[in-house]
Copies of this chain bind each other. A is one copy, B any other.
Amino acid sequence: MSLTLYVCTTCRAATDDPDGPRAGARLLDALTAALAERDTPVAVEAVECLSVCKRPCTVAVASPGRWTYVYGDLDPASAADTILDGISRYAATPDGLVPWRERPDAFRKGVVARIPPAPVRSA
């Protein structure tokens, strides 16, 4: 299984110190630290911009054969474990469609968009 979590490192929170790391970069650090403590089958990739600038922090999760999801409004100080919980549930589905009742609240409220899996092309 190949599963990628894209994390926007440009996302800036209104309360960010102009001289400090941005909220998106702090979320990336928190996710990297949280991943070291658990066994979520995901590759984390920093991205410069996911074009969801009005709803920081933002991540996207994608996997071949599964729906891609984009989430915003994520708190860099507290969202890392929630995101990894949600991704574990996503990884356990064949198509990326997690039943509504099993989705973390932050994913229910923070969903920005979803995109169908790419059509399977014959070799």
Binding site for B on A (CB under 8 A): 2, 4, 6, 43, 45, 47, 49-52, 58, 60, 62, 64, 68-70, 111-116, 118-119, 121
Contacts and interface: CB of A to CB of B under 8 A. Distances in A.
A24 to B, nearest CB: 14
A6 B70 contact: no
Contacts of A49: 114
Please tell me how many copies of the chain the complex holds.
2
Sorted nearest first, the 10 A-B pairs with minimum C-beta distance are A70-B113, A51-B114, A113-B113, A60-B115, A51-B111, A52-B113, A112-B113, A51-B113, A50-B113, A68-B115
A66 B43 CA distance: 19
B50 A114 contact: yes
Contacts of A68: 68, 115
Nearest to A48: B116
Given A43-B119, A45-B116, A60-B115, 20 more contacts: A2-B119, A4-B119, A6-B116, A49-B114, A50-B113, A50-B114, A50-B115, A51-B111, A51-B112, A51-B113, A52-B112, A52-B113, A60-B113, A62-B115, A68-B115, A70-B70, A112-B113, A113-B113, A115-B115, A118-B118
